Each structure stands twice: as C-alpha cells, then as structure tokens.
Amino acid sequence: MKVDFTLNGKPVAWDGPPITRLAAALRADLGQTGTKVGCDAGDCGACTVLLDSRQVCACLVAMGQVAGRTVETVEGLGDGNGTLAVLQTSFLAHGAAQCGICTPGMLMAARELLGKTARPTRGEVEDALGGVLCRCTGYGKIVDAVMEATASLPAAPPAGAAVGTRLARVDGVAKLLGREKFGADGIPGDALWIRVVRSPYARARFTLGDLEPLRRRLAAVLTAADVPSNGYGIYPDIKDQPVLADGQVRYPGEAVVALVGERDAVLAIRDEEVPITWAPEPPVTGLDAAMAADAPLVQADRPRNLLLEGGVRRGNAGEAFATCAAVAEGVFETAFVEHAYIEPEAGWAERVGDRIEVHVSTQTPYMDRDEVAIVMRLRPEAVRIVPTACGGGFGGKLDLSVQPLVAVAAWKLLRPVALVYTRPESMAASTKRHPARITAKFGCDAEGALVACEVTASFDTGAYASWGPTVANRVPVHAMGPYRVANVRTWGDAWFTNAPPSGAFRGFGVPQAAIAHEAMMDELADKLGIDRLEFRHRNALRVGDTTATGQTLSHSAGLAQCLDALRPHWRKAQDEVAAFNAAGGAKRRGPKRRGVGVGCMWYGIGNTSMSNPSHMRVGLSPAGTLTLYSGAVDIGQGSNTIMTQIAADALGLPAAQFELVSGDTDLTADAGKTSASRQTFVSGMAAERAGRDLRQQILRLANAGPDAALSLAGARLTVRDGGEVRVIELSTAGPLMGEGTFDPPTTPLDADGQGIPYATYAFAAQIAVVEVDIELGTVKVLRMVAAHDVGKAINPTLVEGQIEGGIAQGLGLALMEEYLPGRTENLHDYLIPTVGDVPEIECILIEDREPLGPSGAKGVGEPGLVPTAPAILGAVHHATGVRARRVPLLPHRLREAIVAAGKGP
Ligand code: FES
Ligand code: FES
C-alpha cells in the first residue's frame, strides 16, 4: 500500500504493508533512526513522535493510519543543518540527556506541550513526559530543561579552567539531534539477522531434531557445535556460561539455537518450528533450595551449589556483643532487579580478512575483545570491538550478550550479521541484581558508639557465575557500613540456582547490604533515644580511622561533612513531618502519615584488591588536531566530558579544542571497564597524566618552563613563557602523543579479609521524606536531599546527574522493582520509576579532596543509589513504625506489615 504523508515538513511517499509500524518504517525504510525502539509495545515512550502535533508511540501506529497526516520526529526539531532548537539547547545546558536513548522521545513529548503552553508548570511538564521512561537521569534535569527552556549554553571554559565547570556534555549534540548511533542504529543494510531460540524452562535436558529443513530456508542454524569454544565468563578461570546451551539449560531464557538469515525470514519462524525435544527437570529456585542438603546441582562440578564464600574478621565480635548496651538484629531480603536500560542489547559483526569486528553497545570493549577471542579461538588482536553509543548499562552491559553469536555467524557466513534483542528477550536473558538474604547484628555502648557487628550476606547468583564473585567479595568489606566498628565479622556467599545469572548492577551488592546496616543504625539509635542522624555522625569513619579490613584512612573520608550538611534539612523535615502528622488530628490527614529517614554509605572505588589499570593518550597531529584517545566507554554517565576536562587542564589547552576517539579497541588503549565507579578516579588520573605528558613534550620542544601558557591555532602551537613567545609548527614537529597510566594502589585481602581493598572510598548520606497511606500501603517519596563526598566535582552537572539517576533507581529498588523470571519480562509488568514517581531532589556536593585522584576527584556512579533505599525505608518506619524486612516494599507487603503490627486500621 502506498502511504503519502508529511514527515518533518516534507512530503513522503512510503510503500509497504499498511500494518507496518511507524517506528519500523521510519527507522528501516526512511533512514530516520533518531526515533528509538525500547520495547516495541507502547511501554517506554522511546519512540514518541508527533502525529498531527500530538504525541504518539510510533511503535503502536500502523502506517495505514498515517496516510495524509503529518509526522514530526527529532530529526525535524533543529534547522536540519545541525543547529539545535532552543529546546534541544536547553536539554544540553541542563544535562538532561545522559545516555540519550530516551532523549528523542522526551524532546517530542515536550515539543507537544510547548506547542500548546509556552510557560508550563512543573505539573504540566510531568504530565506531558509521563509516558516516556528514562532510566538514567531521575527526570529532574529533563523537567528543568523544559520549564526553563534556554538558548544559551554554559560559557566554554578557557585553558586551564575546565575542571569544576558545568561544561556541556562534549558528545551531547548528536544525542539531541537524534544522530547518535546506538547498537541498532548503524547496522549495515546487507546484514543478516539472528533470532535466538531460548529455553522456556528453568531446568531441562534437550535434544535437537533434524535441523536440515530449517537450514535450507536460512543462511545458517547455529547450535552449540558451531561455537569454537562454547564457554564465557568474567573471570579468567570461570568460563561456565555457554554461548548456546549444549544438551541442558539452566535458566528460562537461556540461548539454545540461533537462526541466521534475512531479517523477515528469521523473524517469521516460530519456536515451535524448531525441532527441540525437552525433558524438563525440577528447578532449583531460591536460596533455600540451593542450600538444601539434597539439592540437585545447577552445575555438576559445583558442589553444594556454592560459587564462592569469604569474609572479613577483625577483633572478636562474638565476645564484644556481651559488653554492648544495645543490640539490634534483623534479616533482610531483596529481589532480582532488572537493569531496564531503555536500549536493549544490540550490535553486529563483520569479518574483515582474518579479523572479526564487532560493533556493540557495551561497557567494556577490551573485556569483550578478549572474551570474543576466547569463544572464537582467535588471538585477541584478531578481534576489534567498536562500541556504539550505549543506551544505558548500569552493569548489565558488562557481560557478553549479542557479541559471541554475531561474531560466530559473521565469521562463518562472510556477511555482516546483526542481533537486536527484543525487550522480553533482553529481560529474560540479561543479568540481574543479586537477590540477597542478609542477617545482621550490630551492638553499641551506652553512648551510642558501635562496638560489634556480624553480617552474613547470601546471594542468589543464578545459573552462571557472571559477577557473583565480585559481589560476594565486595559486600563483606562494606557490610558494616561507613562506620568505626572495632569487632567485625562479615561473610558473603553466592549460590547457584536455576534463574538468570545475577551480575553487576550499580553497587555490586552493596545497596542490598546498606538496607541492612542502615536499619540497624536506626534501631540502635531508637533504643538509646539518640537522634538517628546524630548516631551516624558519632560513628562515621573519619580520616585517621582504621576500617574493618585494617586500612587506615589517611585522607578524603567526608561522611561527617555530609551529615553536617544534611543536619538543617533533617531538622526542618522532622518539624514538617511532625506538624503534618499532628495537623488537625486524624480527620484532616486521613490515612496519610509522613516520615523522614536517613541513609549512609561508603563505596570502594574500583576493583576489590585487584589490579585495575587505565591507559589514556592525548595526541596532537601535524595538522593541529588535538585528540583524546579514551578507551573509557561513556554509557551516559559523562566520562567523555570528564576525561576531556581533566586532560585539557593537564595539558593547558581549552577543552573545546579536543576531538574525541572513544572505545574502539584498535584506536584506544585499554582503560578498563566502565563499572565500580572507577572511570573518573582511575581513567581520569590516566587522562591527567597523558595530558601532562604531552605538555612536558611540548615544553621541551619549546625549551619553556613549567608555567608556560599554550595556545593552538591550526597547525601552530604557541608557547608563551614569561615574556618569550615560541611557535611550534606542528607540520614539521611531527605527531606528538602523551600517554598516561594509573593503577590504584591496593593489596590482596588475607584469609581474615585484612588488607587494602581500595585506594579510596566515596561517602554519602541522603535524607528521604515520604508519605504513606496506611490503608493502602502505598508510599510516595516527597523529597530527597543527597550529600555526597565526591572528592572534587569535575563537572557538577554530571555529578548531580549521577546522584539523581541513582536515587531514581534506589527508589525503584526500595518500593517498586521485583523481577520474577518468566513473569515480568516487559515494561508493563516490570515497573520502573516514571517522572511522576521521582521527587524533588536536592544535591549537596562535598569535596573532601582525594590526593590520589585527578584534581582530587573520586567517583559517584554507584554511590548515588546506595543510600536511597535505606533512607526511604527508614522514613517509612518513621511514618508507620513498620520496618521493611523484604524489598521491594510493595503496597501489599507494607499493608500486611502495618496490620500485623497493629499500626493501622
Ligand atoms: S518503543 Fe514504542 S513505547 Fe517503547
Ligand atoms: S538518558 Fe534517559 S534513558 Fe538514558
């Protein structure tokens, strides 16, 4: 059917089946990939466009409905030549785009509103954006950008003054124009496609029947036998996850067969047409089943279903409890949590001679390179990873997803091969936050000084190891919280079950542990009648204190400063809550009760007791092009901008003069993975050293002193040293390259967990104000105030963005998000916070300088999330008297607890 319509002001004649979705037609047929597809089901809003000036989900509109109408997409917002419209500029100025995958949808939703109302209220903006999900920002900066639409960007900082400024994201313009290429956006037109047939069972044996009829219809049907080395995993000695299952499956959604062919052909084949004979077996579900003496083994060579265990021991906690004036105990359980990045896993591969190139949305290009090489039985140098833009990661794109299958297929078929996960596939097959059971006991003296703690944290690590060892190692180090405790015994263990692999998710288990230790702080404070914030302040780790692993903190331990900064907000919130709860008595406030809570955290930056290096380069070409070669992948958090700011100041040239080459393993050095909040601290220091190295080379060439000022114009580099001016003609000086490496100093932990696991720690405290409906069990978070010791805020806008986004995810962890394998594999059964769920957030940045970090900076990616759930749950307890023992604290759970405790009607 021919469909004539107007697209961004121009007539278009489209031809195809009328049921084709507008999103698919825009992307596949009309080359307009600015419109994103996050779910293809009307849930996420990433595909929002305007149809006759009203926002619609383009994934739900059939082309037959578009005839004769006007469609506006993000590509039509600017002038078409790359100049941003005011709204787009405002997004850039406010830091409203992080990964940018939701940005086109947000812009179009806002565009409809601004077309009707030039100066909308906050409520109107929230209503207008309510159908578009963002997993990165926490929404606040997006709402501000719409309300305060501005055509001006922050002033570009001069040479030497980039660090500490609110420099607009260096990679932001492409995100706002819809030109950024995410994993599904740049797939070659001649690429074959893969559809993966996945297990419907949590645990089963299977046999494959005759695949020849399918093979005749397609380019290939791949099974385990086609994978050269059919095992991968994060750790060099644990390659336990098959690319394609070989005779047995261990979780629902596990990949079994890959169908490769023309896109329409593979998508037309139903699972039932693939001859697989299943023999289901009873699955091992949950920690108790995994630990049972007679439990079947999830992996035959893993006795007791135990992946790993270990802990920290200092002093004698058992004896010390007997001396305590107050003791608190509790058991806390958390659920699987889905990353729910708005961009599902996507990428493609192409064989280039004897090498394979993989273009993929990833957090860790070098680790991907090595893993793909192992699977392919190639040398690492024969694999090139070219990261696409990453539409959110949060830890979930640290594991392989599409990489091995597209690589195997492209190598075999000598054609580009692509794989784009559907939303249900992404949710079924990807890793999750580890469900945890945490048993905690804390004791203090009569003055409220902590004396002893015992914590045992057990994690459901799912079917394969993934990052399970990292979680089980990191948690015992953090489980006592950011406090001075002389007698500590903490323990972590991880257990295999027939569930999706639990992997890395913003915090590596520390957010789960924080729920337990912060509840214990509240209970001890209440028992002694000490204010909950003051109790934490009294016990906060400070410079000079020794941690439970025996590490003396010699600098940058700013928790007490964070709590000091929060104190006035805490008092005000206490007064307001008390006034509300008392106001007019029960009649006026009805079933609503308000409460205020506080949560604290510390977080070791980088890998636990492991080498953790980053290498960066800054080059100056004979033509005068200044380039930062950064292997640190920006997954939305802003490392492209942060690295540029740091390198620019170290070199002494303006950040605006930098070009960026990011992530490509052929063009950049290994900067390690984007995880563990490490890029600012580790890669930032490497970038600083690379900038300084290049500066030294320039100063030597110019025979100039250390304080000389540089300026670059074309291929002329001018060096002003006192009264002297020297000009370096770069065309004759040849290419210059500065290099920098940093590996934070740590030591291994001994059998008692003693050592230096991290070179530095971030600290934070957050306050939550909530309103609980005690009849319904619902919780509305009204306000958050977050104080974070970040060492130095290299870019305050980006730091705030990390904190606000972390708080939104922490709110989801506390109140909303529970992934149930096989049941919540879409974004209408699995709910993440919308713009209406995230409250006003105030960020307070504490800069307790870390001398090891670049300009004193540490990291903030994960810390933003960690204290949020404890603060919210503490506030719920304050409002209701009910302590959450199981999260998420869904309304029915809270209501049951309120009734059981006799605290409500
Ligand atoms: S892709 Fe259309 S709503 Fe998610
Ligand atoms: S910026 Fe909104 S999903 Fe990443």
pLDDT per position as a tens digit, 243-277? 999 999 999 999 999 999 999 999 999 999 999 99
Ligand 1 lining (C-beta closer than 6 Å)? 37-40, 42-47, 57, 59
Mean pLDDT score, 164-182? 96
Q: How far is the CA of 391 from the centre of ligand 2 (A)?
A: 7
Q: How far is the CA of 635 from the centre of ligand 2 (A)?
A: 10
User: Relative to the CA of 42, which ligand 1 atom is closest?
Assistant: 3
Q: Cβ(172) to ligand 2 under 6 A?
A: no
Tokens of 10: 């121009």
Among 440, 364, 369, 450, residue whose Cα is nearest residue 407: 369
Mean pLDDT score, 319-334? 98
Q: What is the pLDDT of residue 154?
A: 82
| Angle in degrees, 0-180, between the axes of helices 468-478 and 510-528, rounded to the nearest 10 | 20
Q: Pick from 44, 91, 103, 634 the residue to mutate for probing ligand 2's pocket: most ligand atoms within 8 Å of its CB.
A: 103
pLDDT-based confidence at residue 904 (cuts at 50, 70, 90): confident
Q: Pick from 27, 47, 827 the residue to mutate for probing ligand 1's pocket: most ligand atoms within 8 Å of its CB.
A: 47
Q: How far apart are CA 886 and CA 884, in angstroms?
A: 6
Q: Which ligand is nearest to the CA of 109?
A: 1
SS3 content of the chain, % helix, strand, coil (to 5): 30, 25, 45
Q: What is the pLDDT of residue 887?
A: 97
User: Relative to the CA of 44, which ligand 1 atom is closest?
Assistant: 4
Q: How far is the CA of 47 from the centre of ligand 2 (A)?
A: 13
Mean pLDDT score, 100-114? 97
Q: How far is the CA of 100 from the centre of ligand 2 (A)?
A: 5
Strand order in the sheet with 204-208: 248-249, 204-208, 276-280
Q: Cβ(392) to ligand 2 under 6 A?
A: yes
Q: Which ligand is nearest to the CA of 98?
A: 2
Q: Are 233 and 239 in contact (CB under 8 A)?
A: yes
Q: Which ligand is nearest to the CA of 389?
A: 2
Q: Cβ(98) to ligand 2 under 6 A?
A: yes
Partner residues linked to 275 by β-bridges: none
496 residue type, one letter:
F
- What one-character DSSP code corresponds to residue 321? G
Q: What is the pLDDT of residue 583?
A: 73
Q: Cβ(97) to ligand 2 under 6 A?
A: yes
pLDDT-based confidence at residue 675 (cuts at 50, 70, 90): confident
The proportion of the chain whose per-residue pLDDT surpasses 90, expressed as a percent, equals 94
Residue 398 has φ and ψ, to the nearest 5°, of -90, -20
Q: How far is the CA of 151 from the centre of ligand 2 (A)?
A: 22
Q: How far is the CA of 41 from the centre of ligand 1 (A)?
A: 5
User: Relative to the CA of 39, which ligand 1 atom is closest?
Assistant: 4
Q: How far is the CA of 676 from the centre of ligand 2 (A)?
A: 20
User: Relative to the CA of 96, which ligand 2 atom is closest?
Assistant: 1
Q: Which ligand is nearest to the CA of 26?
A: 1
Q: Pick from 101, 171, 426 the residue to mutate for probing ligand 2's pocket: most ligand atoms within 8 Å of its CB.
A: 101
CB atoms within 10 A of CB 270: 8
CB atoms within 10 A of CB 656: 14
Mean pLDDT score, 889-903? 94
Q: Indicate whether 125 pLDDT > 80.
A: yes
Collect all residues with Cβ–Cβ distance below 8 Å to 293 and sequence separation of at least 6. none
Q: Cβ(340) to ligand 2 under 6 A?
A: no
Q: What is the pLDDT of residue 78?
A: 84
The proportion of the chain whose per-residue pLDDT surpasses 70, expressed as a percent, equals 99
Q: How far is the CA of 864 from the centre of ligand 1 (A)?
A: 28
Which protein residue's CA is at the shortest distance from atom 3 of ligand 2? 134
Q: Which ligand is nearest to the CA of 136?
A: 2
**Burial state string for 372-404 with b = 16 or more CB within 10 A and e = fewer than 16:** bbbbbebeeebbbbbbbbbbbbbbbbbbbbbbb
Q: What is the pLDDT of residue 30?
A: 97
CB atoms within 10 A of CB 484: 17
Mean pLDDT score, 10-34? 97
Partner residues linked to 608 by β-bridges: none
Q: How far is the CA of 132 from the centre of ligand 1 (A)?
A: 9
Q: Cβ(802) to ligand 2 under 6 A?
A: no
3-class secondary structure, 355: strand
Q: Are 112 and 55 in contact (CB under 8 A)?
A: yes
Mean pLDDT score, 91-111? 98
Q: Which ligand is nearest to the CA of 45?
A: 1
Q: What is the pLDDT of residue 715?
A: 96
Angle at 665 between CA 760 and CA 687, to 5 degrees: 40
Q: How far is the CA of 832 from the centre of ligand 1 (A)?
A: 15
Which protein residue's CA is at the shortest distance from atom 3 of ligand 1? 42
Q: How far is the CA of 202 from the centre of ligand 1 (A)?
A: 28
Q: How far apart are CA 626 and CA 621, in angstroms?
A: 7
Q: Cβ(100) to ligand 2 under 6 A?
A: yes
Q: Cβ(136) to ligand 2 under 6 A?
A: yes
Q: Pick from 47, 99, 390 the residue to mutate for probing ligand 2's pocket: most ligand atoms within 8 Å of its CB.
A: 99
pLDDT-based confidence at residue 149 (cuts at 50, 70, 90): confident
Q: What is the pLDDT of residue 832?
A: 98
Which protein residue's CA is at the shortest distance from atom 2 of ligand 2? 134
Q: What is the pLDDT of residue 81?
A: 83
Half-sphere exposure at residue 427, Cβ-oriented, CA atoms within 13 angstroms? 24
CB atoms within 10 A of CB 876: 29
Q: Indicate whether 728 pLDDT > 70.
A: yes
Q: What is the pLDDT of residue 676?
A: 84
Q: Indicate whether 207 pLDDT > 90.
A: yes
In this structure, the dihedral spanned by the alpha carbons of residues 705, 711, 716 and 718, taken in order and rounded to 10 degrees, is -30
In this structure, the dihedral spanned by the alpha carbons of residues 529, 532, 536 and 538, taken in order and rounded to 10 degrees, is -40
Q: What is the pLDDT of residue 586?
A: 58
pLDDT mean across residues, the chain: 96
Q: Cβ(145) to ligand 2 under 6 A?
A: no
pLDDT-based confidence at residue 646 (cuts at 50, 70, 90): very high
Mean pLDDT score, 765-781? 97
First to last CA, the chain: 61
Q: Cβ(663) to ligand 2 under 6 A?
A: no
pLDDT-based confidence at residue 585 (cuts at 50, 70, 90): low
Q: What is the pLDDT of residue 745?
A: 95
Q: Which ligand is nearest to the CA of 104?
A: 2
Q: Indicate whether 588 pLDDT > 70.
A: no
Q: Pick from 40, 103, 132, 341 the residue to mutate for probing ligand 1's pocket: most ligand atoms within 8 Å of its CB.
A: 40
Q: Cβ(133) to ligand 2 under 6 A?
A: no
Q: Pick from 137, 146, 171, 798 the residue to mutate for probing ligand 2's pocket: most ligand atoms within 8 Å of its CB.
A: 137
Q: Which ligand is nearest to the CA of 138?
A: 2
User: Relative to the CA of 36, which ligand 1 atom is closest?
Assistant: 1
Taking phi first (over 0 means left), then psi (-120 to 50 degrees means alpha), and beta for anything else, what does residue 556 get?
A: left
Q: How far is the CA of 474 from the centre of ligand 1 (A)?
A: 36
Q: Which ligand is nearest to the CA of 808?
A: 2
Q: Cβ(636) to ligand 2 under 6 A?
A: yes
Q: Cβ(833) to ligand 2 under 6 A?
A: no
Q: Which ligand is nearest to the CA of 95?
A: 2
Q: How far is the CA of 829 from the centre of ligand 1 (A)?
A: 15
Q: How far is the CA of 697 from the centre of ligand 2 (A)?
A: 40
